[in-house]
Structure formats: C-alpha cells, structure tokens
C-alpha cells in the first residue's frame, strides 16, 4: 500500500504565500523566505493533512511557471539549504512533500532557450519547435500563446532525459512526488517514456498530472501517472450548489465512480488557478456542503491554502489576474483574523472524519434520494459494505429535508447497515453536521448537511 492512498494535501503557492517580489531582478539577492513556511507546518498538522503540495520553488522570472533553472531554488524564496530544511521539518512531522514540475515549457529567459535562439546550428535547438526564417530570429511554439513560455519538443529524446534528470534530482533531495503542470499539453507517451526510469529509482514517488478536459482514465493508463486532477468534480460541486441543481452533482459523482474503478483522482474545491471557493459560491451557507462532498467521496483530497480560513479571491483573465487568489499569509497563525477560524475548525472536523475512514480513498457513491435541492448518497468501500459505509445528506432548500433510511419492501437500497445476523437495520448515528434520526427518517434542517454512519 502506497503512502498516497492515505494522503490529504495542503496546497501552498510559495511565491504568493511568502510575499515574494513579482519579478526576479537581474541582481536578485537570496531572500530566505522558505524558513517562514516551516513555521506553518504545525498549523498544517493541526488541520489534519498529511502532505504539502508545493507550487513552484525553482528559479523563475515571475510567477514560477516560467522556469529559468530547474536545479536551483528561486532566490526570492531561499536556497538549497532552506529547501532541505523545509523537507526535513515536514518529514519530521509526518508530512510528505510533492513538488510542482513545469515540464511542458521553459521560460524564455532560460539559458537553454537563449542558446537555441542564438544560432540555427545550436544543439539546444533540438529541445524546441523552432522555425528559422531566411534572416532574423526563429519563431517557436509556445504554451497557449504566451511568448514568455517556450514549449519543449516532447518527441526529442534529450527532453525526456532532461525531465527525468530533474525529477530524480529533487526526489533524491527528499521530495516525495510531483505534480506535473500542464500535463494536458504533453503527450501521455512522453510520460510513459520518462516515468519508468524515475520509478525504478524512486518507486514510492507519487505523480499526478494537471489535466482539465478529456478522458482522465485514458491519460492515466497511457502515461503511467498515478492520478490526474479532477476538474469535472470541482466544477460540478460549486455549479450545482449555485444553481441548486444537485442533478449535476449526481451526474458528476457517477462519472467519478467510473474513474475510481481504475485510479484515484486528485480532488479539490480550490487551487492556485481558480476563483476561491468562498467567492465562487453564491450562497455562503453552502460552503460546508462543498467541503463535505470533497472529504466524503473517493480520491486524494487537496485543500488550497487560505480556503481553510474562508479567504476570498476572484480569478481574472488579465495580467496580474491571479494575484487575488495567491495572496500572502502573515508571519504565523496567531496573526490570522478571528473570522476565519470557524471555517478552519469545520475543515478540521471533516478531515478528521475522513482520516477515521481511510477506505474512502477508493470508495464509490450510490444515490439514495435526489431532488433539485436535496441529495442523499451512500459512500462505501468498493470491496463491500463490511469495510465501511457512510451516508451523506445535503440540503440546499429553505425547508427541512426528510430522507428515509430503512430498507424498502421491494428491496431497494437502504441507508442503514444491516446487522450480521439479518436483523433489522440499526438507526444511523450522526457523525458530523446537523440532523435528527428517528421513525425511519433522517431530518436535516434548511441549508444544512449531515454525515451519518
């Protein structure tokens, strides 16, 4: 059993979290900011997570995804000693560390790019898609039209060698895995070429790819990655809550079940690329409902820093449009505003519930009751109910929701556990949330939720 089967991540975007300068100066002095992140590790442990999903830490020109050196720590964050100390401090607390690998493209200021653009016969030119005119500089393929992000040629053996070298180097320094940025823009066959060599040396490394659209299961199967990001479920959670259309969530949970048959996706309700959950939701009363879904369905959950404090932030499609969702944190937890702690404690409660039921990692859901505004689902371990079963009720309505939990006479699904000797099912216990149970019914107040078992 791999460690990531029990992982719950706290995702941190270090350049924003630590308040780094927006652009790397030519004579940038090393600023030791990473040690400040060490001061937040106990906060993460108290939250209940078991791993750090770190955004870019390698030297880049601006936002971290325009890498200029994969083998050094961004001087706006610190140096190699700071990185080693962070990893050691995380491991001492039982926290794994997964790094963000930008391997689809390089920053235009990367020495390899500059060498490749310098002359037509430069050997570095084989790393990129270059078109040389009769005179002047070449044109090159970019990432989504950004001139500062020069796409690598993933058919080139030298690119596979470079990426494999980078991945092994940082795993050798203590990292526990990789998030593959923009994996959707890289052919799965490339990862199938690179990852076996990485796993041969580091078999326990967790590798998750950023994939937004497409056939997630096929990408995992063809690439050899452990998982991909579950954007389908992310969208369905907030959209169904905003529209009070839980049929959308129910459909997404069905597709999620199909994925869980082959892999456990990385699940989330917020990350460094999307509007923060507290801003995304039209009705703040439904923020707990989003978290309940995240932490009771199969997958590997990831919590984006600040969401556990209810921070707001709007993602905008403009220069600097990510700043509001990548805001700095104060020096320490004691400096956080008081109003965020109730949201933190809700996260703690739900993370603790998930950790008490580790079988949820590959659990499947089954719908028990569904209307526009009320959804009750059973979540059970795939090998059978004896391994674990919970019931979740989400109520978005202005009135109380009532859901039957006893078996129907025609043998339809029941919400309660059957006793081993075949006796009548015992009443459910409320494990979290707000509900009353009696007379064969679970009653959930307006705009409330419950987890029962």
Same domain, 381 and 335: no
Domain limits for position 426: 364-452
The three-class DSSP label of residue 75 is: coil
Same domain, 443 and 411: yes
Kindly state the percentage of the chain with pLDDT values over 70: 94
Select from 311, 343, 361 the last residue of a domain: 361
CA distance 340 to 284: 13
Same domain, 371 and 268: no
Can you say how many angstroms the Cα of residue 205 is from the centroid of all Cα atoms in its chain? Answer: 16
Contact by Cβ (8 Å): 179, 146: no
pLDDT on residue 142: 97
pLDDT digits (tens, 9 = 90+) for 301-358: 999 999 999 999 999 999 899 999 999 999 999 999 999 999 999 999 999 999 999 9
pLDDT on residue 427: 66
> Looking at the 3D structure of the chain, how many domains does it have?
2
CA distance 375 to 296: 14
pTM check: above 0.75: yes
Distances (CA, A) of 198 to 173, 190, 225, 368, 400: 14, 13, 11, 44, 53
Same domain, 257 and 242: yes
Same domain, 113 and 230: yes
Select from 361, 386, 403 the last residue of a domain: 361
pLDDT digits (tens, 9 = 90+) for 121-132: 999 999 999 999
pLDDT digits (tens, 9 = 90+) for 257-293: 999 999 999 999 999 999 999 999 999 999 999 999 9
Min mean pLDDT across 249-258, 380-389, 436-445 is at 380-389
Same domain, 74 and 127: yes
Same domain, 354 and 378: no
Same domain, 260 and 385: no
| Residue 339, burial from CB neighbour count under 10 angstroms (0-12, 13-18, 19+) | exposed
pLDDT reading at 421 higher than 60: no
User: Which secondary-structure segment (H or E) carries 113?
Assistant: helix 111-118
Contact by Cβ (8 Å): 347, 47: yes
Same domain, 327 and 375: no
The three-class DSSP label of residue 21 is: coil
For 373, the token pair is 């505004």
pLDDT digits (tens, 9 = 90+) for 138-163: 999 999 999 999 999 999 999 999 99
CA distance 75 to 15: 11
Among 436, 415, 410, CA closest to 425? 415
CA distance 234 to 370: 20
CATH number, domain containing residue 382? 2.60.40.1180
Select from 361, 383, 414 the last residue of a domain: 361
pLDDT on residue 1: 66
Same domain, 340 and 434: no
The three-class DSSP label of residue 80 is: helix
CATH number, domain containing residue 47? 3.20.20.80
Band of the pLDDT at 407, cuts 50, 70, 90? very low
Among 433, 434, 441, CA closest to 415? 441
Same domain, 262 and 386: no
Average pLDDT over residues 39-48: 98
Band of the pLDDT at 440, cuts 50, 70, 90? confident
DSSP string, 151-170: EB-TT-HHHHHHHHHHHHHH
Same domain, 319 and 220: yes
């Amino acid at each position: 059993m791999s460690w990531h089967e029990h992982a719950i991540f706290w995702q941190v975007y270090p350049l924003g979290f630590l308040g780094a300068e927006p652009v790397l100066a030519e004579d940038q002095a090393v600023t030791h900011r990473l040690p400040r992140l060490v001061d937040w590790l106990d906060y993460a442990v108290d939250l209940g997570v078991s791993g750090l999903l770190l955004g870019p830490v390698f030297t880049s020109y601006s936002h971290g995804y325009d890498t200029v050196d994969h083998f050094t720590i961004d001087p706006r964050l610190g140096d190699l000693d700071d990185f080693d100390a962070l990893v050691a401090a995380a491991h001492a607390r039982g926290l794994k560390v997964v790094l963000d690998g930008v391997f689809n493209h390089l920053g235009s200021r990367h020495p390899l790019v500059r060498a490749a653009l310098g002359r037509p016969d430069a050997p570095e030119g084989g790393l990129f898609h270059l078109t040389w005119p009769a005179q002047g500089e070449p044109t090159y393929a970019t990432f989504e039209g950004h001139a500062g992000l020069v796409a690598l040629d993933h058919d080139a053996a030298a690119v596979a060698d470079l990426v494999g070298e980078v991945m092994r180097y940082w795993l050798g320094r203590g990292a526990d895995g990789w998030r593959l940025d923009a994996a959707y823009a890289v052919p799965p066959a490339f990862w199938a070429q690179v990852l076996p060599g990485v796993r041969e040396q580091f078999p326990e490394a967790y590798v998750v790819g950023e994939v937004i659209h497409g056939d997630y299961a096929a990408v995992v199967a063809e690439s050899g990655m452990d998982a991909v990001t579950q954007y389908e479920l992310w969208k369905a959670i907030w959209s169904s809550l905003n529209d009070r259309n839980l049929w959308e969530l129910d459909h997404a949970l069905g597709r999620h079940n199909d994925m869980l048959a082959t892999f456990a996706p990385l699940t989330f309700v917020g990350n460094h690329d999307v509007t923060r959950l507290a801003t995304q939701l039209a009705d703040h009363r439904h923020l707990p409902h989003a978290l309940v879904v995240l932490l009771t369905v199969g997958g590997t959950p990831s919590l984006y820093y600040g969401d556990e404090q209810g921070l707001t932030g709007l993602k905008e499609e403009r220069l600097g449009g990510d700043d509001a969702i990548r805001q700095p944190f104060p020096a320490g937890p004691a400096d956080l505003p008081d109003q965020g702690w109730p949201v933190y404690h809700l996260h703690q409660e739900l993370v603790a519930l998930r950790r008490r039921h580790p079988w949820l990692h590959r659990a499947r859901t089954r719908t028990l009751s569904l209307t526009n505004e009320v959804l009750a689902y059973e979540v059970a371990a795939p090998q059978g109910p004896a391994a674990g079963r919970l019931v979740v009720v989400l109520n978005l309505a202005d009135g109380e929701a009532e859901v039957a939990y006893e078996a129907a006479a025609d043998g339809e699904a029941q919400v309660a556990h059957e006793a081993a000797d075949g006796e009548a099912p015992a009443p459910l216990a409320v494990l979290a949330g707000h509900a009353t149970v009696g007379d064969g019914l679970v009653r959930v107040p307006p705009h409330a939720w419950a987890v029962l078992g």
